[in-house]
Amino acid sequence: MTVETIISFLIFLMILGAVVAVELKDLLSSVVSIGAVGVILSLTFLLLQAPDLAIVQLVVEILALIILIRATVTRDSVNYSQREIFVKVVTMIGVVVFLISLVSIIKLLPPFGEPKLKVASYYITEGLGIKNNISETGAANIVSSIILDYRAYDTLGEATVLFCAVLGVLAVMRKVGRKNER
């Protein structure tokens, strides 16, 4: 079996999980099945030679699952209204049209497994010093050296996003919003 087949099969499993998560009536079950999709995603990252991402995806999935379960448990989970069938069909048609146009653009990309590596070749060849065994940043993990040296400015932004979201949660969760309500 080639890598491509295994990857396609795993993505197919993720699609199944996603459909189940979207269509189930019970909220808790759909939260759990989205957790399963996340775990398969982590596995896929591992097969795609991205161990950093596999670790991060796994732990983030656990955290997101805990938060979502705390939010849904003990709340009404079954009774909510459905859209009319007409809206569903129209959306479905729109989504399929979007898919077809996206497939036409996907065909122009380099095929799976053969990326162009124009800028990235610097990080994995020229950037590795004279003896070709250690990067010029001094780090063995090249992903680390990208996120904290070559593109550290992005990571500052990333940390700010998280900081901002925490502040946002604190701001939204204030017990009293205004001092003297009129």
Partner 1 sequence: MNNIIPLFVIIPLAGAFLNSLLGRFSKLFSDILSNIVCILTTFFSFVILFNLNLSPNNILTYRVGGWVAPIGIMLVVDHLSVLMLLTVNLVALCCCIYSISYMEKYTDKWKYYALFMIMLAGMNGVIITSDIFNMYVFLEIAAIASYALVAFGDESEKLEASFKYLVLGSVASAIILLSIALIYSYVSSLNLADISLTLSNMVDVNKVYFIKFISLLLIVGFGVKSALVPFHSWLPDAHQSAPAPISAMSSGVLIKTLGIYAMVRILFNIFGVGQKILSIIVILGLLSMFVGVILALYQWDYKRLLAYHSISQFGYIILGIGLATPLGILGGLFHLINHSVFKSLLFLTSGATESTLGTRDLRRMGELNKKMPLTTFSALIGSMSISGIPPFNGFWSKLIIIVACIQAKQYFAGFIATIVSFLTLSSFTKVLKYGFYGKSEVDHKNIKEVPDSMVVPMIILSLCCIFMGLLLLPQIRQYFLDNVVNVLQHGTIYATKVFELR
Partner 2 sequence: MSHLPYILCLILFLIGLYAVLVKKNLIKIIIGLGIIDYSLNLFLVLIGYKKQSIFPILSKDTQIQPMVDPLPQALVLTAIVIGLAVTMLMVAIAIRLYEKYETFDITQIRKLKG
Partner 3 sequence: MKDKNNNSGMTLIVKTVTRLTVGLIMLYGLYITFHGHLTPGGGFAGGVILALSFIHLILAFGKDFVIKKFSEKIAGVFESIGAVLFLTIAVSGFLVGYFFINIYGKGIPFNLFSAGIILPCNLSIMLIVGFGLFCAFLTLLLFISSKE
Instruction: Name the residues that contact partner 3, by CB under 8 A.
Output: 51-52, 54-56, 59-60, 62-63, 66-67, 70-71, 74, 133-134, 137-141, 143-145, 147-149, 152-153, 155-156, 158-160, 162-163, 165-166, 169-170, 173
Q: Which does 180 bind (CB under 5 to 8 A by kind): partner 1, partner 3, partner 2, none?
A: partner 1
Q: Which is nearer to partner 1, 66 or 152 (CB)?
A: 152
Alpha-carbon gap, residue 5 to 41, rounded angstroms:
15
Alpha-carbon gap, residue 30 to 32, rounded angstroms:
5
Backbone φ and ψ of 62, nearest 5°: -60, -45
Other residues' Cβ atoms within 10 Å of the Cβ of residue 104: 9
Alpha-carbon gap, residue 157 to 165, rounded angstroms:
12
Alpha-carbon gap, residue 164 to 167, rounded angstroms:
5
CA 139 to each of CA 120, 121, 128: distance values in angstroms, whole numbers, following the listed order? 16, 17, 10
Considering only residues 35 through 94, tell me which ones interact with partner 2, judged by CB under 8 A.
37-38, 41, 44-45, 48-53, 56-57, 60, 63-64, 67-68, 71-72, 75-76, 80-83, 87-88, 91-92
Q: Which does 30 bind (CB under 5 to 8 A by kind): partner 1, partner 2, partner 3, none?
A: partner 2
Q: Which does 88 bind (CB under 5 to 8 A by kind): partner 1, partner 3, partner 2, none?
A: partner 2
Show the binding pattern over residues 106-145: x = contacts partner 1 (CB under 8 A), - = does not.
--xxx----xxxxxx-xx---x------------------
What is the distance in angstroms between the CA of the first residue and the CA of the last residue of the chain? 69
